[in-house]
């Protein structure tokens, strides 16, 4: 019996598909936090620009330089946030931290970390080969993946329309091939806005699109923090990477650039 239980646990721990199809309505009432991007400029009391690894290069062998408060790469346009990746080289004369990258883009991080609750980001995605948009959460400090990562939405341009939702932790991550996630097909991901959603609770994390859950992971596995580090507030991140181990797996179509991720709004409801 013990051997059977251990075998069953091992099979579960190695599983990566946590797909589900269930209703996922957004809460009623006013959000606890929202950015409707209806001003003239990005509200830097709500967002900061992450430029921390420009000089040495970004993780995953990504190819972009993330600009700070540069309208060519991040701006408010027609009531939406535009994050634009461009094929261009900069100069150290004007950008001291430029690391020689041939692409520019932007990465916005929420000023205030948030934890349990319901998140909704309405966005339209880029489809050019080599683009890698993401809406995700990561905690400050600590070592990856021990502190956890929540990917509400990732999509690579060479597989446009396939949207991925994933959780990473010390025991479950893509390095080990044990990441917990699911994917769904959205034919109009690049031509229309869709609502990318996260319902983060102490016992479950559910991720969905347009009011339907596509992934649900329960806090029911052995391993303590290695299995479930999702117990403290995380920063919300909006970014558009270029190339990289996954995004550049089939090369980069330079002719397709510039590429845009457009965000209509970000909303968060704190649990009552």
Structure tokens at 136: 């995700």
The alpha-helical segments, DSSP class H, found in 109-203 are none
Q: Which helix (H) or strand (E) holds 189?
A: none
- Compute the Cα dihedral for 135, 242, 263, 165 and give only its sign: negative
Residue 88 among the catalytic residues: no
Residue 147 among the catalytic residues: no
Contacts of 198 (CB under 8 A, 6+ apart): 118, 119, 120, 137, 150, 152, 205, 206, 207
Q: Which of 62, 120, 147, 149 is catalytic?
A: 149
Q: Which of 62, 120, 147, 154 is catalytic?
A: 154
Structure tokens at 224: 């303590």
Contacts of 110 (CB under 8 A, 6+ apart): 46, 47, 235, 236, 237
Distance CA 41, CA 38 (A): 8
Residue ranges with strand state E in the chain: 19-23, 33-35, 47-49, 64-66, 74-77, 80-87, 103-105, 107-110, 117-124, 131-138, 149-154, 162-168, 180-185, 194-200, 204-209, 212-218, 235-242, 259-269
Structure tokens at 78: 């027609």
Catalytic residue set: 149, 154
């Amino acid at each position: 019996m013990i051997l059977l239980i251990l075998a069953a646990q091992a099979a579960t721990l190695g599983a990566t598909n946590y797909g589900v199809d269930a209703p996922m309505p957004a809460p009623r009432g006013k959000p606890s936090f929202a950015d409707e991007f209806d001003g003239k400029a990005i509200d830097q009391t709500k967002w900061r620009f992450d430029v921390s690894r420009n000089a040495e290069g970004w993780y995953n062998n990504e190819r972009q330089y993330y600009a700070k408060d540069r309208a060519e790469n991040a701006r408010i346009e027609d009531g939406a946030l535009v994050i634009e990746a461009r094929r261009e080289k900069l100069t150290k004369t004007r950008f001291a931290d430029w690391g020689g990258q041939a692409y520019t883009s932007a990465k916005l991080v929420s000023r205030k970390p948030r934890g349990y609750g319901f998140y909704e980001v309405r966005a339209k995605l880029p489809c050019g080969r080599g683009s890698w948009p993401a809406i995700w959460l990561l905690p400050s400090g600590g070592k990856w993946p021990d502190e956890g990562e929540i990917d509400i939405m990732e999509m690579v341009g060479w597989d446009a329309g396939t949207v991925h939702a994933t959780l990473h932790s010390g025991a479950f991550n893509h390095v080990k091939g044990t990441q917990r996630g699911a994917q769904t097909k959205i034919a109009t991901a690049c031509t229309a806005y869709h609502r990318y959603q996260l319902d983060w609770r102490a016992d479950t994390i559910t991720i969905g699109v347009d009011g339907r859950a596509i992934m649900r992971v329960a806090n029911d596995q052995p391993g303590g923090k290695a299995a479930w580090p999702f117990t403290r507030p995380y920063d919300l991140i909006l970014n558009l990477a270029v190339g990289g181990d996954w995004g550049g797996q089939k090369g980069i179509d330079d002719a397709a650039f510039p590429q845009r991720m457009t965000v209509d709004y970000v909303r968060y409801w704190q649990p009552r």
